[in-house]
Amino acid sequence: MTHVLDPNALDGAGSQDTAPGAPPGPFADVTRSGDAFRAFLHGLPGVDQVGAEIRAKVLGTRSIKTTAKAWAIDTAISMVDLTTLEGADTPGKVRSLAAKARRPDPEDLTCPSVAAVCVYGDLAGVAKEAVQGTGIKVAAVATAFPSGRASRAVKLADVRDAVANGADEIDMVIDRGAFLAGRYLDVFDEIVAVKEACGPAHLKVILETGELVTYDNVRRASWLAMLAGSDFIKTSTGKVSPAATLPVCLVMLEAVRDFRAATGRQVGLKPAGGIRTTKDAIKHLVLVNETAGADWLSPDWFRLGASSLLNDLLLQRQKLRTGHYSGPDHVSVD
């Protein structure tokens, strides 16, 4: 689909002195001006739309054996960012979600815990207390989620407040208006500032791919976010359709793979929105393995942003163990 980017072929590349907030290693000069950054991003290899969609479709039809399916289900459970992002969220709902995150199947202690609980920043403290001592992370959405329409000062205050409340990870949204208008340095500088405001917390950068229109824009936004220091790139807020599609994930997986090849730094990926079934989750795991490689098949590098997905994973897991499906009361209604 695409070749690994050769940093030595880039105009102005080659400086190894990376200042705080500057892109890594061979790309340290690409943000020296708006024109230089535009030239770099628009010089990335174009995405073959038809090829991407065909490859994603082919990989999505892969069948796996029963033993591999059992592994895939447990791996997917361990990668879930169990999410509630509603205006009606309460501390009680967050505690209930955290209990499910710790013990997804209370009747089966071999069932793994999920990777994280994802909430609004004002409830991060409730979630932090509820998962204390488990290793489960608390992710908080910030920067005027989901629209991203606020001043930078407000966005940074939002981030600092979430981290102060106990968030281990921040899921920020980029300014899609600025990106689509070609103000790439503005978007870059904002991500750098948010990364600094995160302190010890990891940063996931939400591209909201459903609003980026083209796969080329998805690739450009992925590289922009990674150059700015993101720890993860994330497809969507889950509030815009389309959200996480397989072709979009393919493009983003190629981006994280090529970025590591060019810089030596590994960045994670989080598809979110529309991933509801075990079949959906397994399709994504196959895509990860076949595109970026097995190094990304870990909750440290791949997450699934979801709310209803976990229930289906649990029902399919029970089916593999017992040979029959449990009733709907086997899983909680979130």
Name the residues annotated as catalytic.
171, 234, 270
Strand partners, 302: 269
Distance CA 224, CA 235 (A): 14
Three-class secondary structure of residue 218 per DSSP = helix
Smallest CA-to-CA distance from 313 within 63, 101, 92 is with: 101
User: Which two structure tokens, joined as six digits, stand for 99?
Assistant: 């209990």
Distance CA 225, CA 227 (A): 6
User: Which two structure tokens, joined as six digits, stand for 145?
Assistant: 């989620």
User: Which two structure tokens, joined as six digits, stand for 72?
Assistant: 């895939």
- One-letter identity of residue 329: D
- The answer to whether 186 and 146 are in contact (CB under 8 A) is no
- Which H or E element spans position 196? helix 184-198
The contacts of residue 211 (CB under 8 Å, 6+ apart) are 176, 180, 240
How many helices (H) and strands (E) the chain has is answered by: 12, 8
The contacts of residue 327 (CB under 8 Å, 6+ apart) are none
Distance CA 95, CA 126 (A): 7
